[in-house]
Amino acid sequence: MNEHAVTELLTDAMAARRGLHAIEDTEQSLGGEDFSWYLEQVPGAMARLGVRTPGDTARRDLHRGDFDVDEAAIEAGVELFTAAALLDGHRS
């Protein structure tokens, strides 16, 4: 379970960096994820980073040979976590 305050922090951080249009809800995945075990011990939230090239509508599964990552997504991830750290520092 995602902690509401952490989810809100991540939302605020991305909105501050790239605007609300950069935030999308995703369908719940049926895949397994070990990250949930961490959240049993400490408050947190899992965020997914979109790695598709803008305009590309093809849905490629992570475990298939045609999966392709737009490496520009790395910048968005760095912005998200940097902005979250800076916002969290101001909220404390």
CB 10, CB 25: distance < 8 Å? no
* pTM over 0.95, yes/no: no
Q: What is the pLDDT of residue 12?
A: 96
User: How far is CA 31 from each of CA 5, 24, 42, 63, rounded to the nearest angstrom?
Assistant: 25, 19, 22, 11
Per-residue pLDDT of the chain (92 residues; tens, 9 = 90+): 899 999 999 999 999 999 999 998 887 776 677 888 999 999 999 888 888 888 888 888 778 888 888 999 999 999 999 999 999 878 76
Report the chain's C-alpha Rg in angstroms.
Answer: 15
CB 78, CB 14: distance < 8 Å? no
What span, in angstroms and rounded, lies between the C-alpha atoms of 74 and 51? 8
